[in-house]
Amino acid sequence: GAVVSQHPSRVICKSGTSVKIECRSLDFQATTMFWYRQFPKQSLMLMATSNEGSKATYEQGVEKDKFLINHASLTLSTLTVTSAHPEDSSFYICSAGTGSSDTQYFGPGTRLTVL
Amino acid sequence: TQLLEQSPQFLSIQEGENLTVYCNSSSVFSSLQWYRQEPGEGPVLLVTVVTGGEVKKLKRLTFQFGDARKDSSLHITAAQPGDTGLYLCAGAPGDDKIIFGKGTRLHILP
More confident residue, A100 or B12: B12
The predicted pLDDT at position A1 comes to 65
The predicted pLDDT at position A52 comes to 84
Min CA distance, B90 vs chain A (Å)?
9
Tell me which residue in B41, B45, B88 faces A105 most closely, judged by beta carbons.
Answer: B45
pLDDT tens, residue by residue, B6-51: 999 999 999 999 999 999 999 888 889 999 999 889 999 999 999 9
Q: What is the mean pLDDT of chain A?
A: 91
Min CA distance, B31 vs chain A (Å)?
7
The predicted pLDDT at position A103 comes to 76
Min CA distance, B77 vs chain A (Å)?
25
CA nearest to B11, candidates B110, B107, B109: B107
pLDDT bin (cut points 50, 70, 90) of residue B103 is very high
CB proximity B56 to A under 8 Å: no
pLDDT bin (cut points 50, 70, 90) of residue A72 is confident
Q: B81 near B15, Cβ under 8 Å?
A: yes
Min CA distance, B92 vs chain A (Å)?
6
The predicted pLDDT at position A31 comes to 82
Rounded (to 5) percent helix, strand, coil in chain B: 5, 55, 45
The predicted pLDDT at position B93 comes to 73
Q: Phi first, then psi: what are they for B4, rounded to 5°?
A: -115, 120
Burial B70-93 (b: 16+ CB within 10 A, else e): bbbbbbbeebeeebbbbbbbbbbb
The predicted pLDDT at position A108 comes to 95
Give CA–CA dist A21/A7, Å, rounded. Answer: 6
Secondary structure of residue B101 in the 3-state scheme: coil
Number of H helices, E strands in chain B: 0, 11
Chain A residues whose CB is inside 8 A of the B45 CB are 103-106
Kindly determine whether residue B42 and residue A46, on different chains, have CB atoms separated by under 8 Å: no
Tell me which residue in A41, A93, A103 faces B42 most closely, judged by beta carbons.
Answer: A93
The predicted pLDDT at position B47 comes to 93
Q: B89 near B33, Cβ under 8 Å?
A: yes
pLDDT tens, residue by residue, B59-102: 999 999 999 999 999 999 999 999 999 999 998 776 677 889 99
Give CA–CA dist A35/A72, Å, rounded. Answer: 15
- Strands B44-49 and B55-58, by their bridges, are unpaired
Give mean pLDDT, residues A65-90.
94
Min CA distance, B11 vs chain A (Å)?
14
Give CA–CA dist B3/B57, Å, rounded. Answer: 25
Give mean pLDDT, residues A68-89.
94
- Strands B104-109 and B10-14, by their bridges, are parallel
CA A30, A32, A37, A43 torsion: positive or negative? negative
Chain B residues whose CB is inside 8 A of the A105 CB are 45
pLDDT tens, residue by residue, A2-45: 899 999 999 999 999 999 999 999 988 888 899 999 988 888 99
Kindly determine whether residue B43 and residue A32, on different chains, have CB atoms separated by under 8 Å: no
Give mean pLDDT, residues A34-57.
89
Chain B residues whose CB is inside 8 A of the A46 CB are 97, 99-100
CB proximity B31 to A under 8 Å: yes
Lowest-confidence pick of A81-90, A93-102, B14-23, B51-60: A93-102
The predicted pLDDT at position B74 comes to 98
**CB proximity list for B73: less than 8 A, separation 6 or greater:** B20, B21, B22, B23, B63, B64
CB proximity B44 to A under 8 Å: yes
Q: B32 near B42, Cβ under 8 Å?
A: no
**CB proximity list for B67: less than 8 A, separation 6 or greater:** B52, B53
